[in-house]
Each structure stands twice: as structure tokens, then as C-alpha cells.
Amino acid sequence: MQSTSPVALTIAGSDSGGGAGIQADLKTFQFLGCFGTTAITAVTCQNTRGVSAVQGLAPDIVRAQIRDVLLDFPVAAAKTGMLYSAEIIQSVALEWGEHGGNIPLVVDPVMVATSGDRLLEAAGERALIDFLGRATLITPNLPEAEVILGRAISPEPADMKEAACEIQKRHGAAVLLKGGHKTTGAEMIDVLVNGSESQFIVRPRIRTSNTHGTGCTLSAAITAGLAKGESLARSVSRARDYLQRALESAPAIGSGHGPLNHSPAEQPLP
């Protein structure tokens, strides 16, 4: 019998444009050698130019999807993306508490759009912040970290590290704080804080309009690494390398912020 791929679960919204959300997560899982399972929280009507409509699913349907996956599949790691509402977040938290066990969980705290618009109402933000305590790793960008901490954060590396450490102290999870949203220089700097260890991850900035789904893709790639038994630090490093390749080879599709190439040319990841 052929050996099976490790199973990963994504709990997120559907993107009709295929560049972010569930669609990006499944493409990433597949390319990185995992079998992907899903729990869809909302259906979005969108393309590379923006979102025209969103319909959240009933919280009990979201919870049932998670339950059915966890009761039958040997899920080795999971992630959350857009959770849409306080009611859905609470249902996810309840189900994860009942059946999630010790499965590594990456929480991408989707709260602030690239435009700066808030994506959750105040009750949803509070519910998501409460949910962070269930995470193994939290992956906020700087605007999301500012919501979590309730204060401004400078993109200076020392300030980013201080903020990541503060989030870890409050919520008991490792933190990958992404700095690209507030900088325009030649390099992008992230900071990973995991227990008493911390490291800066520096990558050259790729000048491209194909940036749709970068956060989803990164968190999915980290989840795939954890599902395969890699350490957190290695999962993050390899996920960053994968994202860089996906950006470098992004296809010319659509007239707005296009998708990444989730199947970049075959070459071994470091």
C-alpha cells in the first residue's frame, strides 16, 4: 500500500478568484506534499480588483465541517484564516476545544485589509483575540498586531521584536510578526519569537502587483511543514522560501492584484 501524505486542515473563507483563502491553502498543501481538508467559514465574491460580496456560513455548519474532518482524518496540523464573525469564531473555538487536542494550530488573525479597512466588527476582534490562546503560532502583519495589542507599532526591528514578545506573553503562542505592510524598502523583515528564542527573517522585496493571498499562502506553507513533522523554525524558514518563489514566478492573470504561482518550478527547498 502506498504511504499516505500527512493531512492538513484549513478553516477559512472561499475566494472565487482562486488567489487566497481556501483555494490558496489547498494549492499550497498539495504542492508541499500534504492532503488538504477544509472547513469553509464564508463565501466571497471577488477577483483581482476586489471583493463585491461576502456571505458567512451558519456557525453550526462551520463547526460540523471541523468535527467531521477531525473525527475521521488524522489531521497533523491546521490553520485558520478569515473567520468572518464573532459567532463563527466562537463556534470554531468550541469545536477545537472539544476535538482539536494537541494538533498544531497556526492562526492567521485576518482582521485588517491591505487597504487598512477593518474586516471584523469590534465583537469579532475581541473573539479572535480570545481565540489566540489556542494557537501554536500566530502570524499577524503589523496592522493586525496593532489591533491585538491596542497600540501603534513601529516597523523598526527592535520594536517589532518587542511587540512579538508581548503578544507571545499575553497569549502563550509563538509569534511570526510580518513587517512588509509598513515598509517600502528593498528588504522585508519579519520576526519569529518562539519561547526564549527569536530571529529576524530578511528577504529581498519583490516589486510586483501579484500579492493577493500572500498571508494565506505563508500560513498554509507553515502548516504543511508542521504537518510533516518539521520544527516550527524550519517550517517558517521553508515557508518563507516557498512564498518568495511563488511571488517571483507569479502569473499575469487579472487586471488588479493578481495571484501567486502556488506551483513554482521544481527545485528543492533548503
pLDDT at 250: 86
Would you state the pLDDT for residue 159? 97
Of 115-129, 155-169, 226-240, the least confident: 115-129
pLDDT tens per residue, range 216-225: 999 999 999 9
Instruction: Put the strands of the sheet holding 187-194 in their side by side order.
Output: 50-56, 35-47, 7-15, 75-80, 105-107, 137-138, 174-178, 187-194, 197-204
User: Binning pLDDT at 50, 70 and 90, where does residue 114 land?
Assistant: low
Judged against a pLDDT cut of 90, whether residue 117 lies above it is answered with: no
pLDDT score of 202: 92
Would you name the residues annotated as active-site residues? 178, 211, 213-216
Band the pLDDT of 208: cuts 50, 70, 90.
confident
Q: What is the 3-state secondary structure (H, E, C) of the chain?
A: CCCCCCEEEEEEEEECCCCCHHHHHHHHHHHCCCEEEEEEEEEEEEECCEEEEEEECCHHHHHHHHHHHHHHCCEEEEEECCCCCHHHHHHHHHHHHHHCCCCCEEECCCCECCCCCECCCHHHHHHHHHHHHHCCEECCEHHHHHHHHCCCCCCCHHHHHHHHHHHHHHHCCEEEEECHHHCCCCEEEEEEEECCEEEEEEEECCCCCCCCCHHHHHHHHHHHHHHCCCCHHHHHHHHHHHHHHHHHCCCCCCCCCCCCCCCCCCCCCC
- For 136-172, how does the pLDDT look when each residue is reduced to its tens digit (9 = 90+)? 999 999 999 999 999 999 999 999 999 999 999 999 9
Lowest mean pLDDT among 46-55, 151-160, 181-190, 192-201: 181-190
Q: For residue 211, what pLDDT band results from cuts at 50, 70 and 90? A: confident
CATH code: domain 7-248 is: 3.40.1190.20
pLDDT at 116: 62
Are residues 142 and 179 in contact, defined by beta-carbon separation less than 8 angstroms? yes
pLDDT value of residue 234: 98
Mean pLDDT of 32-61: 95
pTM for the full predicted model? 0.95
